[in-house]
Structure 1
Amino acid sequence: MALYSRVGSVFPYLHAVSVGKVYLSLMSEEKRHQVIQKIGLPAITKYTITDPETLEAELMQTKTCCFGFEDQELREGVRRIADPIFNFSGKHVGCIGMSASIFNFDLKDKKKYGEMVANAARKTSADMGYQSNNGPA
Protein backbone atom coordinates (compact mmCIF):
# COMPACT_ATOMS: atom_id res chain seq x y z
CA MET A 1 0.00 0.00 0.00
CA ALA A 2 1.41 3.36 -1.02
CA LEU A 3 0.69 6.40 1.16
CA TYR A 4 0.81 9.83 -0.36
CA SER A 5 -0.62 13.31 -0.02
CA ARG A 6 -0.76 16.08 -2.54
CA VAL A 7 0.96 19.23 -1.37
CA GLY A 8 -1.67 21.86 -0.75
CA SER A 9 -4.56 19.41 -0.70
CA VAL A 10 -7.50 20.48 1.43
CA PHE A 11 -9.92 18.24 3.24
CA PRO A 12 -12.76 20.06 5.01
CA TYR A 13 -14.01 17.23 7.21
CA LEU A 14 -12.06 17.85 10.40
CA HIS A 15 -13.81 15.02 12.23
CA ALA A 16 -12.25 12.40 9.95
CA VAL A 17 -8.55 13.28 10.29
CA SER A 18 -6.16 13.31 13.25
CA VAL A 19 -5.01 16.88 12.61
CA GLY A 20 -8.63 18.01 12.37
CA LYS A 21 -9.42 16.37 15.70
CA VAL A 22 -6.57 18.33 17.28
CA TYR A 23 -7.95 21.57 15.86
CA LEU A 24 -11.49 20.74 16.99
CA SER A 25 -10.34 19.74 20.48
CA LEU A 26 -8.59 23.07 20.99
CA MET A 27 -11.59 25.17 19.92
CA SER A 28 -14.06 26.54 22.40
CA GLU A 29 -17.16 24.37 22.69
CA GLU A 30 -19.24 27.07 20.99
CA LYS A 31 -16.84 27.42 18.05
CA ARG A 32 -16.55 23.62 17.71
CA HIS A 33 -20.33 23.24 17.52
CA GLN A 34 -20.52 26.01 14.90
CA VAL A 35 -17.87 24.31 12.76
CA ILE A 36 -19.48 20.89 13.06
CA GLN A 37 -22.89 22.36 12.28
CA LYS A 38 -21.46 23.94 9.14
CA ILE A 39 -19.44 21.00 7.79
CA GLY A 40 -21.49 18.14 9.20
CA LEU A 41 -20.20 14.69 10.12
CA PRO A 42 -20.45 12.71 6.88
CA ALA A 43 -19.09 9.18 6.69
CA ILE A 44 -15.97 9.14 4.53
CA THR A 45 -15.32 5.45 5.26
CA LYS A 46 -17.22 2.91 7.32
CA TYR A 47 -14.93 3.85 10.24
CA THR A 48 -15.63 7.59 10.25
CA ILE A 49 -17.20 8.92 13.43
CA THR A 50 -20.59 10.35 12.47
CA ASP A 51 -22.25 10.56 15.89
CA PRO A 52 -21.78 13.95 17.62
CA GLU A 53 -21.57 12.44 21.12
CA THR A 54 -18.97 9.87 20.06
CA LEU A 55 -16.96 12.60 18.38
CA GLU A 56 -17.18 14.83 21.46
CA ALA A 57 -15.86 11.98 23.64
CA GLU A 58 -13.01 11.43 21.16
CA LEU A 59 -12.18 15.14 21.19
CA MET A 60 -12.06 15.20 24.99
CA GLN A 61 -9.65 12.26 24.85
CA THR A 62 -7.62 14.13 22.22
CA LYS A 63 -7.41 17.16 24.48
CA THR A 64 -6.51 15.05 27.53
CA CYS A 65 -3.81 12.91 25.93
CA CYS A 66 -2.71 15.73 23.62
CA PHE A 67 -2.77 13.87 20.35
CA GLY A 68 -5.38 13.29 17.71
CA PHE A 69 -5.83 9.76 16.45
CA GLU A 70 -7.53 8.51 13.34
CA ASP A 71 -8.17 4.85 12.62
CA GLN A 72 -9.12 4.44 8.96
CA GLU A 73 -11.64 7.26 9.15
CA LEU A 74 -10.42 9.12 6.07
CA ARG A 75 -8.90 6.24 4.14
CA GLU A 76 -9.34 2.56 4.87
CA GLY A 77 -6.09 0.86 5.73
CA VAL A 78 -4.46 4.04 7.10
CA ARG A 79 -3.96 5.24 10.67
CA ARG A 80 -2.78 8.73 11.58
CA ILE A 81 -1.71 10.49 14.73
CA ALA A 82 -1.07 14.22 15.23
CA ASP A 83 -0.04 16.61 17.97
CA PRO A 84 -0.42 20.41 18.22
CA ILE A 85 2.33 22.99 17.75
CA PHE A 86 2.20 26.27 19.69
CA ASN A 87 4.07 29.52 19.06
CA PHE A 88 5.80 31.87 21.50
CA SER A 89 2.49 33.31 22.70
CA GLY A 90 0.90 29.90 23.29
CA LYS A 91 -1.27 30.11 20.18
CA HIS A 92 -1.95 26.85 18.34
CA VAL A 93 -0.35 27.34 14.91
CA GLY A 94 -0.21 23.87 13.40
CA CYS A 95 0.34 20.17 13.94
CA ILE A 96 2.92 17.48 13.43
CA GLY A 97 1.75 14.00 12.62
CA MET A 98 2.46 10.67 11.06
CA SER A 99 0.55 8.31 8.82
CA ALA A 100 1.09 4.61 8.32
CA SER A 101 -0.72 1.64 6.93
CA ILE A 102 -2.55 -0.57 9.40
CA PHE A 103 0.11 -3.18 8.67
CA ASN A 104 2.83 -0.86 9.99
CA PHE A 105 0.84 0.91 12.72
CA ASP A 106 -0.50 -1.67 15.13
CA LEU A 107 -3.00 -0.32 17.66
CA LYS A 108 -0.79 -1.57 20.50
CA ASP A 109 1.80 1.00 19.34
CA LYS A 110 -0.60 3.96 19.50
CA LYS A 111 0.83 5.30 22.78
CA LYS A 112 4.43 4.87 21.59
CA TYR A 113 3.75 6.72 18.33
CA GLY A 114 1.74 9.34 20.19
CA GLU A 115 4.75 10.02 22.42
CA MET A 116 7.08 10.21 19.41
CA VAL A 117 4.84 12.74 17.67
CA ALA A 118 4.33 14.67 20.93
CA ASN A 119 8.10 14.93 21.42
CA ALA A 120 8.51 16.30 17.90
CA ALA A 121 5.67 18.78 18.47
CA ARG A 122 7.13 19.91 21.80
CA LYS A 123 10.54 20.47 20.21
CA THR A 124 9.03 22.39 17.31
CA SER A 125 6.92 24.47 19.69
CA ALA A 126 10.00 25.23 21.81
CA ASP A 127 11.91 26.21 18.66
CA MET A 128 9.07 28.67 17.97
CA GLY A 129 9.53 30.19 21.43
CA TYR A 130 6.75 28.34 23.20
CA GLN A 131 7.29 27.63 26.87
CA SER A 132 4.98 25.06 28.40
CA ASN A 133 4.15 27.38 31.29
CA ASN A 134 2.65 29.79 28.72
CA GLY A 135 -0.34 27.49 28.27
CA PRO A 136 -2.28 27.35 25.02
CA ALA A 137 -4.09 30.54 24.08
Structure 2
Amino acid sequence: MTNKKYKAPAAEKVLDILELMARENKSFSVTEISNTLSITTNSVFRILKELEEKKYIQKRESDSTYQLTGKLYYLGSSIANRITLKEVAEPSMRALRDGTRETTLLTRPGSLGRTLVVDQLESLEPIKFLSTVGLEYPSHTSAMGKAMLAYSPDLLELYLAHHELEPATPGSIADPAKLREEAEQIRSQGYSLDMEESCEGLRCIGVPIMNAAGQIEGAIGVSGPIFRMSKKTMDRYIGLALEQSQAISEQLGYRKP
Protein backbone atom coordinates (compact mmCIF):
# COMPACT_ATOMS: atom_id res chain seq x y z
CA MET A 1 0.00 0.00 0.00
CA THR A 2 1.27 3.46 -0.89
CA ASN A 3 2.28 5.56 2.10
CA LYS A 4 0.03 8.65 2.02
CA LYS A 5 2.83 10.65 3.63
CA TYR A 6 4.72 10.54 0.33
CA LYS A 7 1.85 11.01 -2.12
CA ALA A 8 2.05 13.84 -4.65
CA PRO A 9 -1.54 14.70 -5.70
CA ALA A 10 -0.49 17.10 -8.46
CA ALA A 11 1.77 14.52 -10.10
CA GLU A 12 -0.93 11.89 -9.70
CA LYS A 13 -3.41 14.07 -11.60
CA VAL A 14 -0.96 14.62 -14.46
CA LEU A 15 -0.34 10.89 -14.80
CA ASP A 16 -4.06 10.06 -14.60
CA ILE A 17 -4.75 12.51 -17.43
CA LEU A 18 -1.97 11.13 -19.63
CA GLU A 19 -3.08 7.54 -19.03
CA LEU A 20 -6.69 8.43 -19.84
CA MET A 21 -5.66 10.07 -23.11
CA ALA A 22 -3.43 7.12 -23.99
CA ARG A 23 -6.18 4.55 -23.46
CA GLU A 24 -8.48 5.92 -26.16
CA ASN A 25 -7.66 7.03 -29.68
CA LYS A 26 -9.51 10.36 -29.52
CA SER A 27 -9.21 13.93 -28.37
CA PHE A 28 -10.61 15.11 -25.02
CA SER A 29 -12.25 18.28 -23.82
CA VAL A 30 -11.45 19.84 -20.45
CA THR A 31 -14.95 18.99 -19.20
CA GLU A 32 -14.72 15.36 -20.34
CA ILE A 33 -11.42 14.84 -18.53
CA SER A 34 -12.77 16.58 -15.43
CA ASN A 35 -15.90 14.42 -15.30
CA THR A 36 -14.08 11.17 -16.05
CA LEU A 37 -11.32 11.64 -13.47
CA SER A 38 -13.18 13.73 -10.88
CA ILE A 39 -10.64 16.54 -11.13
CA THR A 40 -11.78 20.15 -11.06
CA THR A 41 -11.97 21.84 -14.44
CA ASN A 42 -9.60 24.54 -13.22
CA SER A 43 -6.95 21.93 -12.35
CA VAL A 44 -7.44 20.09 -15.63
CA PHE A 45 -7.09 23.32 -17.59
CA ARG A 46 -3.84 24.28 -15.83
CA ILE A 47 -2.36 20.81 -16.31
CA LEU A 48 -3.30 20.70 -19.98
CA LYS A 49 -1.74 24.10 -20.58
CA GLU A 50 1.52 22.91 -19.01
CA LEU A 51 1.50 19.69 -21.02
CA GLU A 52 0.80 21.69 -24.16
CA GLU A 53 3.69 24.00 -23.36
CA LYS A 54 5.99 20.96 -22.98
CA LYS A 55 4.68 19.56 -26.30
CA TYR A 56 3.16 16.41 -24.80
CA ILE A 57 -0.31 17.33 -26.05
CA GLN A 58 -1.71 19.63 -28.70
CA LYS A 59 -4.96 21.55 -28.92
CA ARG A 60 -7.37 21.09 -31.81
CA GLU A 61 -8.57 24.59 -32.62
CA SER A 62 -11.60 23.26 -34.49
CA ASP A 63 -13.31 21.99 -31.32
CA SER A 64 -10.96 23.06 -28.46
CA THR A 65 -10.14 19.47 -27.52
CA TYR A 66 -6.70 18.05 -26.69
CA GLN A 67 -4.80 15.02 -27.95
CA LEU A 68 -1.43 13.41 -27.34
CA THR A 69 1.57 14.20 -29.51
CA GLY A 70 4.39 11.86 -30.50
CA LYS A 71 6.63 13.07 -27.68
CA LEU A 72 5.39 10.34 -25.33
CA TYR A 73 6.15 7.77 -28.02
CA TYR A 74 9.69 9.11 -28.17
CA LEU A 75 10.05 8.68 -24.41
CA GLY A 76 8.61 5.18 -24.52
CA SER A 77 10.89 4.15 -27.36
CA SER A 78 13.89 5.56 -25.53
CA ILE A 79 13.08 3.48 -22.46
CA ALA A 80 12.36 0.36 -24.50
CA ASN A 81 15.81 0.55 -26.06
CA ARG A 82 17.44 0.51 -22.62
CA ILE A 83 15.66 -2.41 -21.00
CA THR A 84 15.91 -6.12 -21.63
CA LEU A 85 13.36 -8.83 -21.03
CA LYS A 86 15.76 -10.52 -18.62
CA GLU A 87 16.09 -7.41 -16.45
CA VAL A 88 12.35 -6.77 -16.35
CA ALA A 89 11.49 -10.40 -15.65
CA GLU A 90 14.02 -11.08 -12.87
CA PRO A 91 11.80 -10.05 -9.89
CA SER A 92 8.86 -12.05 -11.25
CA MET A 93 11.04 -15.06 -11.95
CA ARG A 94 12.33 -14.98 -8.40
CA ALA A 95 8.80 -14.65 -7.00
CA LEU A 96 7.63 -17.60 -9.10
CA ARG A 97 10.64 -19.74 -8.18
CA ASP A 98 10.28 -18.96 -4.49
CA GLY A 99 6.52 -19.56 -4.60
CA THR A 100 6.86 -22.97 -6.24
CA ARG A 101 10.40 -24.01 -5.23
CA GLU A 102 10.75 -25.35 -8.78
CA THR A 103 13.07 -24.31 -11.60
CA THR A 104 11.78 -21.19 -13.34
CA LEU A 105 12.67 -20.45 -16.97
CA LEU A 106 12.46 -17.38 -19.18
CA THR A 107 12.33 -17.93 -22.94
CA ARG A 108 12.04 -15.99 -26.18
CA PRO A 109 11.32 -17.07 -29.75
CA GLY A 110 14.51 -18.43 -31.26
CA SER A 111 15.47 -19.30 -34.82
CA LEU A 112 12.58 -20.35 -37.06
CA GLY A 113 10.15 -20.49 -34.15
CA ARG A 114 12.25 -22.64 -31.83
CA THR A 115 12.41 -21.84 -28.11
CA LEU A 116 15.45 -19.98 -26.75
CA VAL A 117 16.26 -20.08 -23.02
CA VAL A 118 17.39 -16.61 -21.91
CA ASP A 119 17.38 -17.04 -18.13
CA GLN A 120 16.90 -19.65 -15.43
CA LEU A 121 16.52 -19.78 -11.66
CA GLU A 122 17.26 -23.19 -10.19
CA SER A 123 14.84 -25.15 -8.07
CA LEU A 124 15.30 -24.97 -4.30
CA GLU A 125 14.79 -28.75 -4.08
CA PRO A 126 17.67 -31.28 -4.08
CA ILE A 127 16.22 -33.19 -7.06
CA LYS A 128 15.57 -30.72 -9.83
CA PHE A 129 15.29 -30.10 -13.57
CA LEU A 130 17.92 -27.84 -15.10
CA SER A 131 18.12 -26.36 -18.58
CA THR A 132 20.91 -24.31 -20.20
CA VAL A 133 20.78 -20.57 -20.87
CA GLY A 134 21.37 -20.04 -24.58
CA LEU A 135 19.95 -23.42 -25.53
CA GLU A 136 17.36 -23.66 -28.31
CA TYR A 137 14.93 -26.54 -28.32
CA PRO A 138 11.77 -27.67 -30.16
CA SER A 139 8.71 -25.59 -29.37
CA HIS A 140 6.00 -28.18 -30.00
CA THR A 141 7.10 -30.32 -27.04
CA SER A 142 7.63 -27.43 -24.62
CA ALA A 143 5.09 -25.61 -22.43
CA MET A 144 6.79 -22.26 -22.99
CA GLY A 145 7.31 -22.98 -26.68
CA LYS A 146 3.66 -23.84 -27.18
CA ALA A 147 2.62 -20.71 -25.28
CA MET A 148 4.67 -18.52 -27.63
CA LEU A 149 3.42 -20.31 -30.75
CA ALA A 150 -0.18 -20.05 -29.57
CA TYR A 151 -0.02 -16.28 -29.15
CA SER A 152 1.71 -15.65 -32.48
CA PRO A 153 -0.01 -17.28 -35.49
CA ASP A 154 2.83 -16.14 -37.76
CA LEU A 155 5.38 -17.77 -35.48
CA LEU A 156 3.32 -20.98 -35.40
CA GLU A 157 3.16 -21.17 -39.20
CA LEU A 158 6.88 -20.37 -39.48
CA TYR A 159 7.65 -23.20 -37.08
CA LEU A 160 5.43 -25.69 -38.91
CA ALA A 161 6.93 -24.72 -42.27
CA HIS A 162 10.48 -25.49 -41.14
CA HIS A 163 10.19 -28.30 -38.61
CA GLU A 164 8.93 -31.83 -38.60
CA LEU A 165 6.97 -32.46 -35.41
CA GLU A 166 9.22 -35.23 -34.20
CA PRO A 167 8.00 -36.73 -30.90
CA ALA A 168 10.38 -36.64 -27.95
CA THR A 169 8.16 -38.91 -25.82
CA PRO A 170 4.95 -40.88 -26.38
CA GLY A 171 3.04 -37.81 -25.15
CA SER A 172 4.51 -35.37 -27.69
CA ILE A 173 2.34 -33.68 -30.32
CA ALA A 174 3.31 -35.02 -33.76
CA ASP A 175 0.42 -33.72 -35.89
CA PRO A 176 0.24 -30.09 -37.13
CA ALA A 177 -3.55 -30.09 -36.86
CA LYS A 178 -3.30 -31.18 -33.22
CA LEU A 179 -0.76 -28.42 -32.51
CA ARG A 180 -3.05 -25.80 -34.05
CA GLU A 181 -5.96 -27.17 -32.02
CA GLU A 182 -3.96 -27.00 -28.79
CA ALA A 183 -2.85 -23.45 -29.67
CA GLU A 184 -6.51 -22.40 -29.69
CA GLN A 185 -7.02 -24.01 -26.28
CA ILE A 186 -3.93 -22.26 -24.89
CA ARG A 187 -5.20 -18.86 -26.08
CA SER A 188 -8.56 -19.60 -24.48
CA GLN A 189 -7.14 -20.53 -21.07
CA GLY A 190 -4.06 -18.29 -21.05
CA TYR A 191 -1.41 -20.93 -20.31
CA SER A 192 0.11 -24.13 -21.70
CA LEU A 193 1.24 -27.40 -20.18
CA ASP A 194 3.95 -29.93 -20.91
CA MET A 195 2.75 -33.24 -19.46
CA GLU A 196 5.90 -35.30 -20.05
CA GLU A 197 5.94 -34.21 -23.70
CA SER A 198 9.58 -33.08 -23.81
CA CYS A 199 11.01 -35.52 -21.27
CA GLU A 200 9.46 -38.44 -19.43
CA GLY A 201 9.09 -37.67 -15.74
CA LEU A 202 9.04 -33.88 -16.31
CA ARG A 203 6.03 -31.56 -16.20
CA CYS A 204 6.01 -27.85 -17.04
CA ILE A 205 3.75 -24.80 -17.11
CA GLY A 206 4.23 -22.01 -19.65
CA VAL A 207 2.62 -18.56 -19.77
CA PRO A 208 3.11 -15.98 -22.54
CA ILE A 209 4.69 -12.56 -22.03
CA MET A 210 3.31 -9.77 -24.24
CA ASN A 211 4.92 -6.47 -25.21
CA ALA A 212 3.55 -2.94 -25.63
CA ALA A 213 2.51 -3.71 -29.21
CA GLY A 214 0.37 -6.62 -28.05
CA GLN A 215 2.77 -9.13 -29.59
CA ILE A 216 4.49 -12.13 -28.05
CA GLU A 217 7.75 -11.19 -26.35
CA GLY A 218 8.54 -14.48 -24.64
CA ALA A 219 7.27 -16.85 -21.98
CA ILE A 220 7.85 -17.66 -18.35
CA GLY A 221 7.48 -21.14 -16.95
CA VAL A 222 7.94 -23.62 -14.15
CA SER A 223 9.47 -27.09 -14.60
CA GLY A 224 9.68 -29.92 -12.11
CA PRO A 225 9.62 -33.70 -11.67
CA ILE A 226 6.29 -35.46 -11.91
CA PHE A 227 6.41 -36.71 -8.32
CA ARG A 228 6.16 -33.08 -7.13
CA MET A 229 4.11 -31.71 -10.03
CA SER A 230 0.75 -33.34 -9.43
CA LYS A 231 -2.23 -31.93 -11.33
CA LYS A 232 -3.52 -30.38 -8.11
CA THR A 233 -0.16 -28.72 -7.45
CA MET A 234 0.10 -27.53 -11.04
CA ASP A 235 -3.33 -25.90 -10.79
CA ARG A 236 -2.00 -23.83 -7.90
CA TYR A 237 1.20 -22.95 -9.74
CA ILE A 238 -0.72 -21.84 -12.85
CA GLY A 239 -2.23 -18.97 -10.87
CA LEU A 240 1.21 -17.84 -9.70
CA ALA A 241 2.62 -18.06 -13.23
CA LEU A 242 -0.25 -16.06 -14.71
CA GLU A 243 0.18 -13.38 -12.06
CA GLN A 244 3.89 -13.00 -12.73
CA SER A 245 3.59 -13.08 -16.52
CA GLN A 246 1.03 -10.30 -16.29
CA ALA A 247 3.41 -8.28 -14.12
CA ILE A 248 6.21 -8.67 -16.68
CA SER A 249 3.92 -7.83 -19.61
CA GLU A 250 2.71 -4.69 -17.87
CA GLN A 251 6.31 -3.64 -17.20
CA LEU A 252 6.90 -3.96 -20.95
CA GLY A 253 3.96 -1.65 -21.62
CA TYR A 254 1.30 -4.25 -22.44
CA ARG A 255 -2.29 -3.39 -21.59
CA LYS A 256 -4.91 -6.10 -21.85
CA PRO A 257 -7.66 -5.18 -24.34
TM-score range (shorter-chain normalised) is 0.7 to 0.9
Partner of 1:6: 132
The offset of 1:94, in angstroms, is 1.1
Q: Which moved more, 1:108-117 or 1:81-90?
A: 108-117
- Whether 1:132 and 2:256 are equivalent positions in the alignment is yes
The offset of 1:27, in angstroms, is 2.3
- Residues paired across the two proteins, number: 131
Which residues of structure 2 form unaligned runs of 5+?
1-126
The offset of 1:52, in angstroms, is 2.5
- Whether 1:76 and 2:223 are equivalent positions in the alignment is no
Equivalent of residue 54 in structure 1, options 178, 188, 195: 178
Equivalent of residue 227 in structure 2, options 103, 114, 132: 103
The offset of 1:82, in angstroms, is 1.0
Q: Which has the larger Rg?
A: 2
CA distance in 1, matches of 2:155, 2:136: 20
SS at match of 1:14: coil
Instruction: Among all aligned residue pairs of Structure 1 and Structure 2, give the percentage whose two residues are the same amino acid.
Output: 27
CA distance in 1, matches of 2:171, 2:242: 25
Q: Is the 8 A contact 2:152 2:215 kept in 1?
A: no
SS at match of 1:74: coil
Q: Is the 8 A contact 2:151 2:208 kept in 1?
A: no
Q: 1:121 to 1:31 in 2, by over 3 A?
A: closer
Amino acid aligned to 2:202: V
Q: 1:33 to 1:88 in 2, by over 3 A?
A: closer
CA distance in 2, matches of 1:110, 1:16: 18
TM-score, normalising length: structure 2: 0.48
Which residues of structure 1 form unaligned runs of 5+?
none
CA distance in 2, matches of 1:14, 1:118: 20
